[in-house]
Structure 1
Amino acid sequence: MKYSLRIVGICVVLLALLGSCKQKAKTVGGVDRSTIFVVDESFKPIVDQELYIFGALYKDGHPKVIYAPENNAVNLLFSDSVRVLIIAREMNAEENKALASKNIKPIVNRFAIDAVTLIVNQASNDTTITLSEIKKMLNGNTKTDKDIVFDNPNSGLVRYLKELSGNKDLKQKNIYSLKSNKEVIKYVSEHPNAIGITGFSWLNDPEKDYADAVNKVKIVSVKDDISKNGSGQYFSPSQQTIALKQYPLTRNLYILNFTGKMGLGMEFAAFIAGDQGQRIILKSGLLPDEIPGREINIVSKIKQ
């Protein structure tokens, strides 16, 4: 009898330990990892707006948000620290294979289209550039004394520029990476000989701490002189030119949910893809994945 009780006691302790380990595996720093969102810091302005309204409408809609460069965000996923990513790409074949080995399948939703934007100082005479000139500039194949600056070297924006140029390094002597989009805008506002590359959302309705810098820069129009569908015209980024596929430097924004269950990640994905979330995107200056409809009430007056 004593032996049986001892066995039961041991089983209870083991079950408790297993339960503790299981719970620990689901949390990071005591926080449920499914409620931690890691967001590419390039999209902070628009995601902040979405989260603010989401939190106001939903009582429990307050995830813990980590802003990080894209590479760091993906590394957090594979280190089992987070389950929700907001970045400018889907998982590649190698990453999907690694996730499949763990029986993890993401639910992917595109919620907006951003414009990769070139900016110069207001004093600069540069107002236009072609895609081929951008590629040459990034590959160091053109004579220029201009400094080319962009955000963190681990960001999704830098990945985009590497793919655009076919250059895996971007280590030319006049190309510099800073720490953030804000720093890029501030640098260009103070240096007439600089070209900055940033996300469009940082230039529309800027925060007070860098609004003055935005007023001291201007956006460069871009012409697609490479693809067969190029119109031969220069276009500035806007919702219209993005929607009509006239502005050539665009990237999709995605929310990737790896939780595999209903919860905060699913709720936020539904919100950001829904009517209210898409209206916030529309107001921000980016292009929503789906243009919200407009209701028009027609009232007819019958003459007596």
Structure 2
Amino acid sequence: MNLKLSRQFITTIILLLLNVQFTIAQKDTLNGLGSDTMLPLMAALASNYGTPEEQVLEVEGGGSSLGFKGLDEYQAEFALSSRKVRSNEKTDIENNYDQLIEKVIAYDALSIIVHPSNPINKLTMKQLKGIFTGEIKNWSELGGEDLPIQVVTRDQYSGSYGFMTSVVIQSEKSPADVKEVHSNAGVVDKVSKIRGAIGYCGIAYVEEVVQPLSISSQPSNFVYPSFRNALNKQYPLSRPLYLYYRGSDKRKVQDFVNFALSDKGQQIIAHKGYIPVL
């Protein structure tokens, strides 16, 4: 190879390498942050979405509150939330002269779970409130064993905690010995190991090591947290799952939002055990 051809060859290789680096640098990454409940759903959507070399979706849990903080601080394009945005969170984000857009992409049934040995298989909303505020302290008060009730709850950053507080407990009061964990899987694990425990988790996290309870907003109508009952909106603790994003990012995120709400996206959501949007 003569000197002229050698220089041309080296130049071509350098240009190719620069082009590869430029392509990698141009890869569009969407960052989702927030609800632990929504992680399996988002991971499944992400693995089936688009063309990897054109756009990548990365999701991280930590709680719905952290998702809104991530939007406010421009650390994420999506906030994943299992509760509705609070007025102060919305104000903080929109104070940056931006619009906060809300999309419901699925529904969940917040399941109340106990140890599988517990003979109690149903509770009213009033009884549930009594347990989670510490007014009911022993399972014998509900017709069960003479066994202290151990409440297992999520941390304050969790959308599930926010939902329970606003819809069920309607109070900041809680038992003195409450056990706080930081994930749905952590709640399931803790409840499965403590005979007197009760906790809550998203329907997609329920396993055979715990027993879900039927819940009633009226004493005579108990509904089990099944996929069908949640789909029919009969289960009283059904809730929407949201994606929130800034209006300034709409063009960047719209393709993914459309995919999540498409027939294929909704089939993926249903396959993961969540309730599709009808």
Q: Do they superpose with TM above 0.5? A: yes
Question: Following superposition of structure 1 onto structure 2, how do residues 133-172 of structure 1 map, counting pairs within 5 Å?
Answer: 133-144=127-138, 145-164=148-167, 165-170=169-174, 172=175
In structure 2, the partner of 1:77 is 71
Equivalent of 1:43, from 38, 42, 49?
A: 38
**1:139-183 CA-partner distances (Å, limit 9, x unpaired):** 11223211111233321111111112121253x124221121112
Assess, with a 3 A threshold, how the Cα gap between structure 1 residues 96 and 196 changes in structure 2: closer, same or farther.
closer
Assess, with a 3 A threshold, how the Cα gap between structure 1 residues 240 and 272 changes in structure 2: closer, same or farther.
same
In structure 2, the partner of 1:276 is 264
Assess, with a 3 A threshold, how the Cα gap between structure 1 residues 151 and 91 changes in structure 2: closer, same or farther.
closer
Distance in structure 2 (CA, Å) of the matches to 1:35 and 1:77 = 12
Contact 2:62 2:157 in 1 (8 A): no
Asked whether 1:250 is paired with 2:232, we answer no
Asked whether 1:218 is paired with 2:211, we answer yes
Equivalent of 2:108, from 109, 114, 118?
A: 114
Give the Å deviation of 1:66: 2.2
Equivalent of 1:182, from 180, 185, 188?
A: 185
Contact 1:162 1:169 in 2 (8 A): no
Distance in structure 2 (CA, Å) of the matches to 1:197 and 1:262 = 34
Distance in structure 2 (CA, Å) of the matches to 1:154 and 1:91 = 12
Give the Å deviation of 1:261: 4.1
Distance in structure 2 (CA, Å) of the matches to 1:194 and 1:108 = 35
Distance in structure 1 (CA, Å) of the matches to 2:158 and 2:92 = 22
**1:257-283 CA-partner distances (Å, limit 9, x unpaired):** 215245542221111111111111222
Distance in structure 2 (CA, Å) of the matches to 1:96 and 1:196 = 29
In structure 2, the partner of 1:62 is 56
Amino acid at match of 2:273: G
Give the Å deviation of 1:39: 3.1
Contact 2:83 2:160 in 1 (8 A): no
Contact 2:39 2:59 in 1 (8 A): no
Distance in structure 2 (CA, Å) of the matches to 1:268 and 1:115 = 24
- The more displaced of 88-97 and 191-200 is 88-97
SS at 1:129 equivalent: strand
Contact 1:71 1:156 in 2 (8 A): yes
Equivalent of 1:125, from 116, 119, 122?
A: 119
Contact 2:111 2:225 in 1 (8 A): yes
**TM-score, structure 2 length as denominator?**
0.79
Amino acid at match of 2:211: K
Identity %: 20
Distance in structure 2 (CA, Å) of the matches to 1:162 and 1:150 = 10
Residue segments in structure 1 that go unaligned for 5+ positions in a row: 1-29, 204-213, 227-231, 291-304
SS at 1:114 equivalent: strand
Assess, with a 3 A threshold, how the Cα gap between structure 1 residues 234 and 102 changes in structure 2: closer, same or farther.
same
Residue segments in structure 2 that go unaligned for 5+ positions in a row: 1-24, 139-147
Distance in structure 1 (CA, Å) of the matches to 2:102 and 2:89 = 14
SS at 2:85 equivalent: coil
Contact 2:204 2:273 in 1 (8 A): yes
Give RMSD over aligned pairs.
Answer: 2.4
